[in-house]
Chain A
Amino acid sequence: MKRLIYFGVLAFGLWTGAGMAQNGPLRIEITDGVIEPLTFAVPMFEAENIEAVTIATEMSRIVANDLSSSGLFREVPPSRFIAQRSSFAEPVRYPDWRAINTQALVTAAVKTTSFGRLTVKFRIFDIYSGVQLGSGMQLSGSTKAVRRMAHKVADQVYARITGEGPYFDSKIVFVSESGPKDQRLKRLAIMDYDGENLQFLTGNENTVLAPRVSSDGQQVLYTSWETGFPQIYLLDVSSAARKRLPTPDNGMAFSPRFSPDAKRMVYSFEQGGNTDIYLMDLASARSARMTSSPSIDTAPSFSPDGRSIVFESDRSGTQQLYVMPVTGGTPKRISFGNGRYGTPVWSPRGDLIAFTKQSNGRFGIGVMRTDGSEERLLSASFLDEGPSWSPNGRVIMFTRETQGPKGAPSLYSVDISGRNLRALNLRSPASDPSWGPVLP
C-alpha cells in the first residue's frame, strides 16, 4: 500500500513537473542596452485663437529646445513629420510617428483669454507603446510669461519620461564680466537657466565673487570688495536691496553659502594667515567657529539635510575634501586621489558631491559619493572650476576659462553621466554660476 502511495505521489510530482516545464515561461536576462537620447517630436502647438498663433510657435520651439538641451532627448525635425496634426483632440496616428522613429510625442494647444491670460494644455504620448503618458495637463498664466510656461511644459515632459525632477523653469545667478582681462569689471546678474532674460543685480563699481542663491531663490549671498576688503553681503533678488553681514573687520570674510533652510550661513574667515569655517545664524547675526586648525579651511557647503558640511582643507599637506557634522566634531577626509580637490558642493539629492580637481596641470569637474567613493571626472580643460547643481541634481554648471591673454570665462553644463557637455550661449564672459530652485 505504501508503495502504491509512493508511486502515486511520484507520478503526481512528475505530472506537475512536466506541466510546469511546458507552461513555465522562458527566462532571459537583458543586461546590455544602448545609451542614446530618446527621440521626440513636438508638432507646432495648436493655436486655438488667432492671437495665440505667435505664442504657440514660440512655445513649441522653447519646449523642443529645453528637451534637446538636456542631452537626454533628441528632436525629430518637423520636416520629417508624416502626420500633420490639425487639432489637439485628434487621435494620434502612432504608425506615422513610428515610421520616423519617434518615441515620444508632445501635443499642445494654446489659447489666449481676456485680461492678458494664456492657457496651454498638453499631452505626452509613448509612441512605441501606443499610449498617453499620464493625464493631459494645462497651465494658465500671463501672456508675459510665455517662456516660463513653456519651461514648465518641458519640465513636465522631462519629469514624466525620465523620472528625474524638473529644472528648466529655474534661474541662475552668476558673475557677469566685462572689460580687459587685467581690469575685468564684475557684477552680479540673474538669468533663466538657458541664458535668456538676463538682468543685473548689482552695478560694476565693485568686484563681486561667488554668489550663492538660497533654496527659495529669493536671496543671494556674495562676496564684495565694496569696503576695499572682501566682505559678505546679502541681497534680496526681488528688490535688489543688499546689506553687509556683520563679520569682523579685522579679517577677510568670503565663500559664504546658505543652509538649506536659508536661516544660517557657513563662510570662511581669514585672520592672521589662518582661515577657518564659521557658522552664522542670520537672524541673530551670531557667528560660531566650526573649525580650528592652522590650515586653510574654506569653501563649505551644507548637505541637503542641513546636518553636515563638506569643505576643502590643506591640513593634510595637500588640498583635500572633508566632511563634518554641523554640530561639531572631527572632520573626516573623503578625497584621496592624486591632485588637489576644491570647491565641493553637495548635491540637492544628497547622494553626490561635486568638486573641482586639479591634476596633471589641468582642472576638471568631478563627482563622488559622500563618502568619497566612486570618484568620476566629468570634464577637463585649462581651467574648470566652481560647480553648481541643477535643482534636480542631474546637471552641473561650472566656469570654464580659456587660456591666453584673450582668455575669458564662460559657463558650461554637463550631465552627471559625463555626457552632454555644452557651453551656455552668453554675450559676455561669465563665471561663478549658482543655480537656483525650480520656480513655483
Chain B
Amino acid sequence: MSPGSYISFALHLGFVGWLVFSGDFSRKPSELSVADVSVISSEVFDIMVNNSSPEISTAIPSAEAIPVVEAAVGPSTPQVDEAPVQVPQGLSQISPGDALPSRRPDAVAPVQDVVILPPVELQAPRMEDSAQQPLQTSLPPKPRPAQRIAPTAIAAPDIEMDLGAQSREAAAPQEAPAEVAQAQEAQAPEAAAPEIVTEAEKPSAAPVVTANAPERSVRPRSRPAPPAAQVPEPAAVEPESSQIDPVTAALNAALMAGDEAPVGPEAAAAPLAEQFIRGMQRAIAECWNLGALSSAALSTIVVVEMELTRDGKPIANTIKMLGFEGGDDTSAERAFETALRAIQGCGAQGFDLPKDQFATWRRVELTFNPEKMRVR
C-alpha cells in the first residue's frame, strides 16, 4: 500500500468520525416555520376587497318590550280620594323560619353577542327568471311526496302548474284548505263554540269577488295623483269636437305609431271588459294570504304598481309600492310583501287578459285593501 493510500484512509476515517461524533447527525433537526392558513368565506373576501369592515353589533335585537311611558302628570303623588288606612312604614321581612321553596330557579342562561351580519350575496336565482319561465326543480318532480302521503287525490298539484298548465285554478295553493282544517282540529278541540264570534266570522277560503269599480276604491293619500285618463270628455266640447276630431286623430295616430304596443287606437282606448277585471281580482285574491300579518299591517292599505308581459305575467322588477295608508312604514312594508307574494304566487302563469288590449293592461295599479279582513 502506498503512503498516499495511508494518508487518504486516515483523512476519510477522520472525516467520518467527525461527522458521527460532532457533526450534524447528533444535532436536532431545525424546526419548521409554518404559517397559519385559513379559508375565508366569499363574504369576508368581499369585505376585504371592498376595504370595509362588517358592522358588528353586540346589542341584543330589539325585544319589543312593553312600552313604558312615565305619566306626564306625576303619578308618584296621586291625588286620590283619601288615604284612610294607616299603613306601616317600610317593608316587613318574612321571618327566617319561613319555609322556602325546595327548588330554586336556576339562573337563566343569557344569550349574548347578537351580531348582525353584513348583507350576503348568495347568487340566488333571479325572481323574474323563474316568473317567466317554467320552474326547473333540481329533482324530477314525479312522484311528489305529498301525493304519496295525501289521504285523497290532489286535484291540481303545484308542480303541474309550474310546468306550464294554463288553468288559473292550478295557480292557487291547493292543499291549504285541507291542512288548515286539520290544524284547527288539532289545536282547538272543544273551543269551537258558537260564542267564538271571530271563528264564526272567519272568511271563507274561497274569495268573494266584489264588483267595486276601480274608481271607487279607497286610495292612500300618499299615492301620486293618477293621470286624468278620462278628463277630456267629448261631450264637454260639443260645438268644436267634430271640427278637431281629425287633428286629434292625427295626433293620436302619431302617438300610437311611437308606442310599443302594436295595437290599434280603438283597442287601446277601449275599457277592459268586466270579466277580465274580475278574473284578475279573483286570481290575486286567492293568493293574498293575510294570515301571518300583524294587526297593524292588517290596517294598512297599500297601492302597488306593476307591469305585465304580453302573456300577462308580472315583471318582477316593476312591482313597487306607490303608497300606503293606515299604518307606519314597517306595517306598510309587511303588507306590501304580502301583496307581492300574492302577485307573484298567482301571477306566475300569467293573468287571463285579452292580448289585443295589451296597452290597456300593460300597467296595473292594485289597491290592496284589507278592511274586510282585519283583526278588529
A5 CB-CB contact with B under 8 Å:
no
Asked if B315 lies at the interface with its beta carbon under 8 angstroms from chain A, I say no
The residues of B that contact A139 with a CB separation of less than 8 Å are 111, 113-115
Tell me, yes or no, whether A1 is within 8 Å of chain B by CB.
no
* Cβ contact within 8 Å between A129 and B173: no
Q: Which residues of B contact A26 (CB under 8 A)?
A: 214, 272, 277, 360-361, 363-365
Whether the pair B207, A377 counts as a contact (CB closer than 8 A) is no
Asked if residues A18 and B255 are in contact (CB atoms below 8 Å), the reply is yes
Encode A66-100 as 1/0 by CB contact (under 8 A) with B: 00000111100001101100000101111110111
Bound CA span A79–B144, Å: 10
Q: Scan residues 202-240 of chain A and give those whose CB is less than 8 A from a CB of chain B.
A: 202-203, 205, 215, 226, 233-234, 237-240
Shortest distance from the beta carbon of A28 to any chain B beta carbon, whole Å: 5
B191 adjacent to A238 (CB under 8 Å): no
Chain A residues with CB under 8 A of B367 = 27-30
B72-131 contacts to A, CB under 8 A, are: 72-73, 75-76, 78-94, 98-120, 122-127, 130
A30 touching B108 by the CB < 8 A rule? no
Q: Which residues on A sit within 8 Å (CB–CB) of B167?
A: none
- The answer to whether B65 and A36 have CB atoms under 8 Å apart is no
B residues 297-343 with Cβ under 8 Å of A?
A: 297, 305, 316, 330-331, 333-334, 337, 339-342
Interface residues of B in 203-247 (CB under 8 A from A): 203, 205, 207-210, 212, 214-218, 226-232, 237, 240, 243-244, 247
With A130-B316, A139-B114 known as contacts, the answer to whether A288 contacts B78 (CB < 8 A) is yes
Say whether A420 faces chain B, with CB atoms less than 8 Å apart. Answer: yes
Q: How far is the CB of B112 from chain A (nearest CB, A)?
A: 6
Residues of B within 8 A of A22 (CB): 255-256, 259, 261, 265, 268-269, 359
Task: Assess whether B35 is interfacial by the CB under 8 Å rule.
Answer: no
Q: Are A135 and B118 in contact (CB under 8 A)?
A: yes
B136 within 8 Å of A by Cβ? Answer: yes
Q: Decide if A30 touches B288 in the complex (CB within 8 Å).
A: yes
Interface-lining segment among B6-14, B23-31, B180-188: B180-188
**Given the interface contacts A33-B370, A246-B88, does A201 sit within 8 Å of B195 by beta carbon?**
no
Q: With A14-B244, A21-B229, A33-B288 as given contacts, are A93 and B197 in contact (CB-CB < 8 Å)?
A: no
Q: Shortest Cβ distance from B266 into chain A, in angstroms?
A: 11
- Cβ contact within 8 Å between B107 and A238: yes
* B265-309 near A? 1/0 per residue, CB < 8 Å: 100110010000100110011111111111111000000010000
Residues in A neighbouring B106, C-beta threshold 8 A: 199
Answer yes or no: B166 CB below 8 A from chain A CBs: no
Bound form: Cα–Cα A433–B200 in Å: 27
A243 to B88, CA, bound (A): 14
> Are A80 and B81 closer than 8 Å at their CB atoms?
no
Chain A nearest Cβ from B72, distance in angstroms: 8
B88 and A128 form a contact (CB under 8 A): no
Residues from chain A with a CB closer than 8 A to the CB of B122 are 89, 91-92, 132
Q: Does the CB pair A93–B138 fall under 8 Å?
A: yes
Give chain A nearest CB distance to B161 CB in angstroms: 9
Q: For residue B61, which residue of chain A has the nearest CB? A: A156
B124 contact from A23, A91, A141, A234, Cβ within 8 A: A91
Whether B158 is near chain A, meaning CB under 8 Å from some CB there, is yes
A30 touches B281 (CB 8 A): yes
Enumerate chain A residues within 8 angstroms of B195, measured Cβ to Cβ: 360, 362, 364, 377, 379-380
Show 18 residue pairs from A and B whose CB-CB distance is below 8 angstroms, ordered by the A residue. A22-B261, A29-B216, A34-B207, A36-B291, A37-B292, A91-B124, A98-B158, A135-B119, A137-B116, A145-B109, A163-B296, A234-B91, A288-B83, A364-B195, A416-B295, A418-B199, A422-B187, A422-B188
* A190 proximal to B (CB < 8 A): yes
Q: Is A187 an interface residue (CB 8 A)?
A: yes
Q: How far is the CB of A217 from chain B (nearest CB, A)?
A: 9
Query: For B89, B108, B123, B247, which residue has the most chain A Cβ atoms within 10 angstroms?
Result: B108
Which residues from B are CB-within-8-Å of A58?
A: none
Complex contact B289–A35 (CB within 8 A)? yes
Residues of A in contact with B, size category = 35 or more
User: With an 8 A cutoff between CB atoms, is B145 at the interface?
Assistant: yes
Report Cα–Cα, A95/B158, bound state, in Å. Answer: 11
**Among candidates B89, B102, B179, B196, residue contacting A285 with C-beta atoms closer than 8 Å:** B89
Interface pick from A178-186, A300-308, A314-322 = A300-308
Given contacts A95-B137, A378-B198, contact A264 B75 (CB under 8 A): yes
> Are B116 and A99 neighbours in the complex by a CB distance under 8 Å?
no
A181 to chain B, nearest CB (A): 20
Contact A379–B196 (Cβ < 8 Å): yes
Q: Mark A322-337, 1 if CB is under 8 A from B, else 0.
A: 0000111000000000
Knowing A32-B210, A421-B187, say if A237 contacts B205 (CB, 8 Å). Answer: no
Assess the A159–B111 pair: CB atoms within 8 A: no
Contact A18/B69 with A7-B243, A91-B123 known, Cβ cut-off 8 Å: no
Q: Are A326 and B64 in contact (CB under 8 A)?
A: no
Given contacts A30-B284, A246-B88, A380-B193, contact A23 B363 (CB under 8 A): yes
Interface of chain B residues 146 through 191 with chain A (CB within 8 A) = 146, 149, 158-159, 162, 173-177, 179-180, 183-184, 187-188, 190-191
Q: Is there a chain B Cβ closer than 8 Å to A49's Cβ?
A: no
- The reply to whether B207 and A24 form a contact with Cβ atoms under 8 Å apart is no
Tell me the bound Cα distance from A350 to B89 in angstroms. Answer: 34
B281: which A residues are within 8 A, CB to CB?
28-30, 32
Q: Specify the chain B residue showing the minimal Cβ separation from A78.
A: B145
For residue A407, CB closer than 8 A to chain B, the reply is no
**Distance between B309 CB and nearest chain A CB, rounded to angstroms:** 14
Q: Is the CB of A24 within 8 A of B227?
A: yes
Are B87 and A248 interface neighbours, CB within 8 A? yes
Q: Let me know if B20 is at the binding interface, CB within 8 A.
A: no
A357 CB, min distance to chain B CBs, angstroms: 9
Give bound CA distance, A10 to B238, whole Å: 12
For the complex of A and B, the 3 pairs showing the least CB-CB separation, nearest first, are A418-B198, A165-B64, A130-B127
User: Pick the contact of A326 from B78, B214, B361 — CB < 8 Å?
Assistant: B78
In the complex, the answer to whether B102 meets A203 with C-beta atoms within 8 Å is yes
Shortest distance from the beta carbon of B75 to any chain A beta carbon, whole Å: 5
Contact B90 A142 (CB under 8 A): no
- What residues of chain B lie closer than 8 Å to A96, measured between beta carbons? 137-139
> Could you tell me the distance between the alpha carbons of A144 and B109 in the complex, rounded to whole angstroms?
7
| A426: interface (CB < 8 Å) | no
Residues of A within 8 A of B16 (CB): none
B252 touches A15 (CB 8 A): yes
Among candidates B135, B174, B289, residue contacting A98 with C-beta atoms closer than 8 Å:
B135
Q: Given A92-B122, A264-B75, A379-B191, are A285 and B226 neighbors across the interface (CB < 8 Å)?
A: no
Check B191 against A381 for contact (C-beta < 8 Å). yes
Q: Is the CB of A419 within 8 A of B240?
A: no
List chain A residues, Cβ under 8 A from B373: 32-33, 35
A438 to B64, CA, bound (A): 8
Given A33-B373, A269-B85: A145 and B111 interface contact (C-beta under 8 Å): yes
Q: Is the beta-carbon distance between B137 and A416 smaller than 8 angstroms?
A: no
| Neighbour of A89 across the interface among B41, B89, B292, CB < 8 A | B41
